[in-house]
Amino acid sequence: MRSRVEGRRDVVVVGGGPAGMAAAARAAEMGLDVLLVDEGRRLGGILPQCIHPGFGVHYLGEELTGPEFAQRLASRVEDAGVDLLLDAHVPEVRWISHAEKGVRVLSPGFSGEVRTGAVIYAAGARERHRFEIGILGDRVAGVYTAGEAQTMMDVYGILPGRRVLVVGSGDVGMIVARRFALEGAEVVGVVEIMPYPGGLTRNVVQCLEDFDIPLLLSHRVVAVRGRGRGRVERAVLVRVDEGLRDVPGTETEVECDTVVVSAGLVPRMEVLRELGALIDQATGGPMVNDRLETTVPGVFAAGNALVINDLVDHAAEQGEQAAEGAAEFLRRGGIPATDWVKLRPGEGVKLTVPQLLSGERDVWVYLRVARPVRNARLSLRGAGKEVRLPVVRPAEMVRVKLMAGEVRRAKVGGREVVAEVYGG
Amino acid sequence: MKDRREVRRLTCIVCPLGCEIEVLLDRGPGGDVRVLEVEGAACPRGREWAAREVTDPKRVVITVVPVRGGDPPTVSVKTDRPIPKSRIPEFMRALAGLEVEAPVRVGQVLASGVLDLANVVATRESRSMGRSLGERP
Amino acid sequence: MGVRVVVVGAGVVGASVARVLSRYEGLEVHLVDANPDVGWGVSKANTGIVHGGYDDDPDRFPLRAELCALGNEIWHRWVEELDVPHTWSGALVVALEGDQRRELESLLERGRRNGVPELRIVEREEALAMEPNLTQEVEAALWAPTVGQIHPVRATVAIVENAVDNGVRVHLETEVRGVKVEGGEVRGLETSRGFLEADVVVNAAGLRADELADMAGVEFPRIRPRRGEYWIFDRSAGPKPRRVLFPTPTPTSKGVVVTTEVSGHLMIGPNAEDLPPDAKGDVGNTAKGLEEVWERAGELWPRLPPRRLVIRTFAGLRPEPEGGDFVVGNTEVWGFVNAAGTRSPGLTAAPAIALRVRDALVELGIELREKGEWKATRRDIESTIDLGWRERVERARDDPLRGRVVCRCNLVTEREVLEAIERMRAVGVRTPSIDSVKFRTGATSGTCQGSFCRVRLVELLAREFGVPPWGVTLKGRGSEVGVGDVKVLLRGASTGGEGSEE
Ligand SMILES: Cc1cc2nc3c(=O)[nH]c(=O)nc-3n(C[C@H](O)[C@H](O)[C@H](O)COP(=O)(O)OP(=O)(O)OC[C@H]3O[C@@H](n4cnc5c(N)ncnc54)[C@H](O)[C@@H]3O)c2cc1C
């Protein structure tokens, strides 16, 4: 694709995954001059490697595979007249003023600084790797993160191994386990440190039970061994108690040649951190207001760079919200000043987004619970709102709409809304 | 004669609730299965799903197919309809030798009537790679 | 007819020997190693410190004392000539209690005897002014401004590249299995790739130097592996010290160091754990060792970052010779020259050890005349991450591949990777491995530890070496990244990279 790169933009979107594509398309559809920059050789972010179905049920009203979903959004991006710069890395965004940023780009085709009014940062996440989850032992081949294994297999056509142990039973871990099983590898187990599976029941059934893959709950992989040959030969497991502490004397060894680590994602924050954006320790992403603007004026965030989403639908939705935020920012010369209400997680809740609410508009609140609860009562204390939900789980983001009026209630109180979850 | 009745326990996958469902079934002499009772489902959709899951479980199969001269060197594919779960391994083996030529478009049928069960359709594109592997076309 | 010298071991010591000998007319120098690349033995995993030379007791360990101080001096020149990533940060040896202060005084005295300049004991206030995040418990510290840090593998690569430029021939994946000695003189080496004639064999075999000496029938102290473990933090994690921080040393070790290593990451380690003699390949990490390091480091640096900011752990094995001193020089077999027993500070001493080996050749009566043309310098691969923004853009505009970022965390471009591959070939690397690229460019060693870019490296290595991507290795044969193409198991046939000879 031939695109214009030079010249000042209204919006530069960093990242061409679902959030970035949705943001770019929406912004361009609102008449803004948009440049979308992505590192990949094609649009889609991690979607092209997620070849299983389950994408778009809410956002598009139909269930697609990852690549198909990407294709749909990519055509929308193109139709909207977004300029594309692919194979391009953004190492830095430079602050010039509240209303002007310089997005620094390195790419084979264009390298330099692109001036822009607003930035939408949708650079996605990275995977947690073995060293972060304390897998010690030998440094040998055959240890991959789930996304890396997926890319090897489903993009580059490389089979990473024959006997596979998966660490982490989130949806990604289970889906990767099934992919290996389908291609004829033996999946010796999926190991989960928590006492319950991390992902959806549907995946426990369709990915594990369908293929007789054992799920080992309340266990942790502590080491890989593979001296000499340079390849994983065994993994060492240990049982953990309710406090997730290793139970002495419960070490066992499993023979395998591959260990796939699916231990969750971390928002990629280098660029925003350098810009001085405040990072929320709970989400790992930037603190944002209900326009999804970070604490750096004119810089917005969406998708997994904002908060780790389990549904592509939410990531795309955040992209659109960020685009609307950016449009308002450009129209009014900044997001209007207000006495923000803080939204924070309380009892039973791990994280909440956005962290600052204006009370000037209805807002989608995303939150993740700390543990599974049936017949849950979700309270947004301070806003006087309560919602009943049949079941909530850490694996599934909860999304509720908070009305402007409800937020305003908190303005007279403690200037705070606290999300809490209780059993029924 | 052995009792032909049996109880199958399933976790429902229709919605996030994940009901624990018990299906009482009767196994005919020819292996055919008749559902007698479904218990534990909170909704009719769950009951329906459970009955189907014990009589004739089916899945859409997702895999990749190598693309000669393609960038990327594979395309992802899916079956255009669900196939019986029990035949998935056989189906995968039947596809193992399949390799196609670049370029491949999304929606292109790469193999039709595989084992008389389904067509295999590309879900991702792969472009023709100009000269050398890994270089941008 | 020239004299054929075969140096066994392409660690920092063997490499240094090869470089020094490459300077002389009439020597045909070969460098042999069992590993797939240079610098992958002890030289791969260590603290990377160019020590000052005040630690080693000249009465008990005369070689260490002399060669460490001299080595430090030479490294100041070599890092410039060879463009080795380095910092001359200086070091503080920290005393926490009264009797540790006495130890500082004896270090100062040793340093004086070993000829180490600029040593000084600083009091608590000055130490804290130099390193505000140092423990408040500090009583005093020995300030050693000549101490520096280098990237040990990049240093070894640099030395070998320069040696090759000056005519040295490298034989990798070549294991020496026997030394042929006739009439008390070295004749050659039995290797996994056939017989190599040699007039002189230099034993720079690191952990296995005792085994090589055995092959020649030369007496040599036993070498025991002593493990040291490390933690490395993300580049963003701090606070980081400006100088290398040592605790007051004990008789067995210089203790757990807190330092900002050359590529800017906070690093802590190593502990010292003696392993059985047969554990010379045991470079795995253990919970016990790592916890010990964490605790010791915390004593010097109470504000350690949280564990979630750790990006890697690793371990190295020190070759501890019985007796404790280096073993360098001629032996009872004519032509078998030792450059071994290279425990710490062997990295520092390597260039000085090499000069000793040259002297040993002179002792043997080999006439050494300097070549008329000898290239003293070598340039490193230019790292994009070290450039300012303007320069980055200029480079990318001149060369599109300098604009294609492969490793995002460390900003390594495709050009750097391709240059690394070219240089791998130049020193005789036969098996494509990710580690070879990693050590030359820093790719895969950042925040994400390669989960994004490893597969890109695989793609490039496969293309450049003309092998299928699954045949690319992590660190040599047996560590192939895959077992075959994605359908290999379903087809019921194995086309794995394993066992496929070249
Ligand atoms: C934990 C730790 C921390 C350290 N910290 C420091 C420090 O901060 N500063 C410092 O100065 N020193 C330090 N050292 C010491 C320093 O790393 C070593 O002294 C130095 O790297 C030794 O280099 P070498 O070339 O002798 O050995 P090596 O690097 O091990 O090289 C020997 C080579 O010989 C090859 N080889 C062996 N046998 C054969 C055979 N039969 N055939 C073919 N090839 C063979 C091996 O494959 C290997 O590549 C440390 C060491 C450790 C382990």
Could you please report the per-residue DSSP string of C49-107? Answer: EE--S-SS-TTT-HHHHHHHHHHHHHHHHHHHHHT--EE---EEEEE-SHHHHHHHHHH
Mean pLDDT: which of A9-13, C252-256, C309-313 is highest? A9-13
Mean pLDDT of A131-156: 94
Phi, psi for C395 (deg, rounded to 5): -60, -45
Range with the lowest mean pLDDT among A153-157, B14-18, B73-77? B14-18
Catalytic residue IDs of C: 51
Cα B17 to Cα B35: distance, rounded to the nearest angstrom: 23
- The tokens for A255 are 């023979």
- The tokens for C90 are 């200086």
Task: Name which residue leads in pLDDT, A61 or C120.
Answer: C120
Phi, psi for A387 (deg, rounded to 5): -130, 140
- Taking CA atoms, A102 is separated from A8, A155, A179, in Å, by 9, 33, 42
Q: Is any atom of ligand 1 closer than 6 Å to the C-beta of C346?
A: yes
The predicted pLDDT at position A60 comes to 86
Segment B53-67, tens digit of pLDDT: 888 899 999 999 999
If DSSP states are collapsed to H, E and C, what string results for A259-318?
EEECCCEEECCHHHHHHCCCECCCCCCECEECCCEECCCCEEECHHHCCCCCCHHHHHHH
Q: Is A159 a residue whose pLDDT tops 60? A: yes
The predicted pLDDT at position A229 comes to 65
Q: Is B130 a residue whose pLDDT tops 60? A: no
Whether residue A247 lies within 8 A of chain B, CB to CB, comes out as no
Q: Which of B66, B62, B81, B82 is nearest to B123 (CA)?
A: B62
Name the band, by pLDDT with cuts 50, 70 and 90, for residue A58. Answer: confident
Task: Give contacts of C460 with chain B, Cβ < 8 Å.
Answer: 134
Which of C33, C79, C151, C326 for mutating ligand 1's site (highest number of atoms within 8 Å of CB)?
A: C33
Of chain C, the percentage scoring pLDDT greater than 70 comes to 98
Residues 6+ apart with CB under 8 A from C421: C432, C437, C460, C461, C464, C465
The predicted pLDDT at position A5 comes to 74
The predicted pLDDT at position A3 comes to 58
Mean pLDDT of A108-123: 97
Q: Which of C235, C436, C451, C457 has the highest number of chain A CBs within 10 A, making it the mutation to test binding with A?
A: C451
Q: How many CB atoms lie within 10 A of CB C421?
A: 22
Provide the residue type at A163 as one letter.
Answer: R
Contact B61, B79 (CB under 8 A): yes
Rounded-to-10 torsion of CA A63, A64, A70, A76: -60
Q: How many CB atoms lie within 10 A of CB C99?
A: 10
The predicted pLDDT at position A21 comes to 98
User: What angle, rounded to 10 degrees, do the helices at C454-465 and C414-426 form?
Assistant: 50
Picking from C460, C463, C486, the nearest residue to B64 by CB comes out as C486
Chains with 3 or more CB pairs under 8 A to chain C: A, B
Segment C237-294, tens digit of pLDDT: 999 999 999 999 887 778 999 999 999 999 999 999 999 988 888 888 999 999 999 9
Contact C222, C322 (CB under 8 A): yes
Name the band, by pLDDT with cuts 50, 70 and 90, for residue A200. Answer: confident
Q: Is C146 a residue whose pLDDT tops 80? A: yes
Cα A260 to Cα A191: distance, rounded to the nearest angstrom: 10
Provide the residue type at A407 as one letter.
Answer: V
CB contact under 8 A, C490 and B92: yes
CA distance A138 to chain C (A): 4
Q: Is C417 a residue whose pLDDT tops 90? A: yes
β partners of residue A187: A164
Q: Which of C448, C451, C443, C436 is nearest to C407 (CA)?
A: C443
The predicted pLDDT at position B2 comes to 56
Cα C203 to Cα C328: distance, rounded to the nearest angstrom: 9
Q: Which residue has the tokens 């810009």?
A: A275
Contact A343, A288 (CB under 8 A): no
Q: Is A100 a residue whose pLDDT tops 80? A: yes
The residue whose C-alpha atom lies closest to atom 19 belonging to ligand 1 is C346
**B63: Cα within 13 Å, side-chain hemisphere:** 30
The predicted pLDDT at position C494 comes to 44
Range with the lowest mean pLDDT among A381-395, C137-151, C425-439? A381-395
Where residue C340 falls (left for φ over 0; alpha for ψ -120 to 50; beta otherwise) is beta
Angle at C99 between CA C96 and CA C105, to 5 degrees: 95
CB contact under 8 A, B13 and A205: yes
Name the band, by pLDDT with cuts 50, 70 and 90, for residue C499. Answer: very low
Cα B74 to Cα A94: distance, rounded to the nearest angstrom: 38
Instruction: Look at the alpha carbons of B12, B14, B19, B25 in this order and tell me if their dihedral is positive or negative.
Output: negative
Q: Which residue has the tokens 């029941």?
A: A201
Q: To the nearest whole number, what is the mean pLDDT of chain C?
A: 95
β partners of residue A336: none
Determine how β-strand A83-85 pairs with β-strand A112-121. unpaired
The predicted pLDDT at position C495 comes to 43
Q: Write the ipTM.
A: 0.95
Cα A327 to Cα B68: distance, rounded to the nearest angstrom: 45
Residues 6+ apart with CB under 8 A from C125: none
Q: To the nearest whole number, what is the mean pLDDT of chain A?
A: 95
In a 10 Å sphere around its CB, with 0-12 CB exposed, 13-18 middle and 19+ buried, how is residue C222 labelled? Answer: exposed
- The tokens for C201 are 């064999």
Q: What is the DSSP string of A334-368?
A: SPPP--PEEEEE-TTEEEEE-SEE-SSS-EEEEEE
Contact C459, C452 (CB under 8 A): no
Name the band, by pLDDT with cuts 50, 70 and 90, for residue B89. Answer: very high
The residue whose C-alpha atom lies closest to atom 18 belonging to ligand 1 is C346
DSSP summary character for residue C433 = B
CA of C43 to the centre of ligand 1 (A): 4
Q: Is C121 a residue whose pLDDT tops 90? A: yes
Q: Which of B123, B125, B127, B129 has the highest number of chain A CBs within 10 A, making it the mutation to test binding with A?
A: B123
Mean pLDDT of C194-220: 97
Phi, psi for B130 (deg, rounded to 5): -45, -110
Collapsed DSSP state (helix, strand, coil) of residue B124:
coil
Q: What are the DSSP E strand ranges found in C254-293?
A: 257-260, 266-269, 273-274
Segment C45-70, tens digit of pLDDT: 999 999 999 999 999 999 999 999 99
CB contact under 8 A, B97 and C486: no
CA of C316 to the centre of ligand 1 (A): 9
Task: Give contacts of C481 with chain A, Cβ < 8 Å.
Answer: 141, 152, 158, 160
Query: How many beta-carbon contacts under 8 Å exist across A and B?
Result: 77
CA of C39 to the centre of ligand 1 (A): 8
Segment C338-383, tens digit of pLDDT: 999 999 999 999 999 999 999 999 999 999 999 999 999 999 999 9
CB contact under 8 A, A52 and B13: no
Of chain A, the percentage scoring pLDDT greater than 70 comes to 98
Mean pLDDT of C63-92: 97
CA of A332 to the centre of ligand 1 (A): 64
Mean pLDDT of A285-290: 98
Q: Which residue has the tokens 């809740």?
A: A349
Contact A263, A168 (CB under 8 A): yes
Q: How many CB atoms lie within 10 A of CB A337?
A: 7
CA distance A305 to chain B (A): 25
Cα A155 to Cα C346: distance, rounded to the nearest angstrom: 45
Q: Is C1 a residue whose pLDDT tops 60? A: no
Contact C171, C30 (CB under 8 A): yes
Q: Which of A83, A105, A96, A101 is nearest to A39 (CA)?
A: A105
- The tokens for A125 are 């996440």
Mean pLDDT of A55-63: 86
Contact C352, C13 (CB under 8 A): no
The predicted pLDDT at position B137 comes to 32
Where residue A335 falls (left for φ over 0; alpha for ψ -120 to 50; beta otherwise) is beta
Mean pLDDT of A305-321: 96
**Peptide bond preceding A48 in cis form (omega within 30 of 0):** no
Chain C 233-252, residues with CB within 8 Å of chain A CB atoms: 236
